[in-house]
Amino acid sequence: MQQSLTPAILSELRRIVGERGLITAPNQLQTYECDGLTAFRIPPSAVLLPETTEQVQSILRLCHRERIPFVARGAGTGLSGGALPAEGSVVIALSRMNRILNIDLPNQQVTVQPGVINANVTAAVAPQGYFYAPDPSSQTVCSIGGNIAENAGGAHCLKYGFTVTHVLEMTVVLPNGDIVILGGKTPDTSGYDLAGVFIGSEGTLGVATEMTLRIMRRPETIQVILAAFDAISSAAQSVSDVIASGQLPAAMEIMDRLSIEAAEISVHPSYPVCEALLLIELDGPEAEVNLQMASVIEICKRNGAWETRLAIDESARFLVWKGRKAAFAAAGRLSPNYIVQDGVIPRTSLPMVLEKLNAMAAEERLRVTNVFHAGDGNLHPIILYNRENPGEEERAIDLSLRILDVCVEAGGSITGEHGVGREKQCSMSYMFSDPDLETMQRVRRAFDTLNLANPDKLFPTPRLCGERTRGAYAPHPLESSGIAEIF
């Protein structure tokens, strides 16, 4: 059975991380009882703040020996409950492991600890003309470790790819305390792609304590155009037409009227007031970008864009993207409570799916504002509600999960970058068959035989999901002892 944190165990943890590295006071533990998805809250038994790989290793060895579940936590900005503590668990908060360890410009690599903030990687190499491409909306506050756990994307993943494309090598502490190196600093490594397995595993396979990232040369020219439309369907059609024309913009984002209004109130980006705003960024050699921009403007006008506006300099571009990346937080201007959902559909299905989502919202008497990575079909519908109104929160949660069903039915996915965590684990069996889920669980068991690393996440369980598991539940050998519940 899982052991409680006895005075002897707490004393041993204190020796590992020091007095300042152990939090047990109930009022301080409240800070760590949830991540950005505040609907779920579980206080941890303790919080540990390691500063080195060796300290993480000692913590995991103790947890393995005493069978104590643990949850690794970055900045706590995740939106799927991925950093939600498990009952009786310790939280390993990596915020103090925030050093940039090495910058290797000749090989276009940077080695960092997991607590380094995403935007700080680019800040460290920007003076030399480089940047780190993955740019989630929370990039000024989210950590690289959390980005790896969720395989974070961002506006520019259309051209440059998700986090997995930019991580070369990782030092990982396995749940039993072993230290392994996944990946490699050369362009290609032999053997299984275990780094690819680890990235996006949401903390269920171990704890990454160092990572070498790929950085890129800043393009010669960057241009951003804003195109205003009277309908989201017209903006969505422009997205498909641009890609079909053979062009690959760095980013293509759509915001609807409500999200535009919220962004204007929050950061004043001076967007055109319209039903749908399409932001398109092109980068590369100046001559090539100028030709592409003329083609993109023509496509937008052909689909009904009544205004096209070019962000003419770096400060204007910064303000355009500041408004877009403020959209989630700005939703608080529209409603006292909201849920940010995250699903993926084929680009060609955008008009049909958005029409269906609006109809579903009307049936539930709820407002939904849409802002999304249109280029790769990554939707972020924001369901607005007031939990003070009886039954409204339940309707909002139900709508958010039914939106995921619509994404799967359209040939898409239940998540693009926010992860499954606790929020979407009951939707996993809607997307995957029993053999799919069992194969994933076999991989998890190979890394974590005792099911201690971020338990109760990612996979559906009968206790949490009931009939929605569709028989996808495969008992784990340790479940009878109370150690493993999700297998």
Res. 455: pLDDT tops 60 = yes
At residue 453, the pLDDT reads: 98
At residue 463, the pLDDT reads: 78
Tokens of 110: 């940077």
What are the backbone angles phi and psi of residue 482, rounded to the nearest 5°? 85, 0
Assessment of whether the complete model's pTM goes beyond 0.75: yes
Fold of 335-423: Alpha-Beta Plaits (3.30.70)
**What percent of the chain is modeled with pLDDT above 70?**
95
DSSP category for residue 168: E
Res. 39: pLDDT tops 80 = yes
Least trusted range by pLDDT, from 52-61, 109-118, 317-326 = 317-326
Q: How far apart are CA 235 and CA 372, in angstroms?
A: 12
At residue 32, the pLDDT reads: 98
Condensed to tens digits (0 to 9), the pLDDT of residues 299-355 reads 999 999 999 999 978 999 999 999 999 988 889 899 999 999 999 999 889 888 988
Fold of 7-93: 3.30.43
Least Cα distance to 62 among 82, 54, 238 occurs for 54
Which CATH number applies to 221-328: 3.30.70.2190, 3.40.50.1110, 3.40.50.12280, 3.60.20.10? 3.30.70.2190
At residue 476, the pLDDT reads: 41
Res. 472: pLDDT tops 80 = no
The hierarchical CATH code for the domain 100-217 is 3.30.465.10
Res. 484: pLDDT tops 60 = no
At residue 3, the pLDDT reads: 55
Q: Where are the domains of the chain?
A: 7-93, 100-217, 221-328, 335-423, 426-481
Res. 107: pLDDT tops 90 = yes
Query: What is the average pLDDT across 205-213?
Result: 98
Res. 406: pLDDT tops 70 = yes
Q: Residue written as tokens 């689909």?
A: 303
Q: How far apart are CA 75 and CA 83, in angstroms?
A: 9
Strand order in the sheet with 207-214: 100-104, 109-112, 207-214, 167-173, 179-183
Res. 483: pLDDT tops 70 = no
At residue 467, the pLDDT reads: 59
Check residues 61 and 266 and name the one with the higher pLDDT. Answer: 61
At residue 1, the pLDDT reads: 39
Phi-psi region of 481 (alpha: psi -120 to 50; beta: other; left: phi over 0): alpha
Condensed to tens digits (0 to 9), the pLDDT of residues 382-391 reads 999 999 999 9
Res. 155: pLDDT tops 70 = yes
At residue 262, the pLDDT reads: 92
Query: What is the average pLDDT across 15-36?
Result: 96
**Residues composing the chain:** 487
Two domains, one topology: 221-328 and 335-423: yes
At residue 487, the pLDDT reads: 27
At residue 38, the pLDDT reads: 87
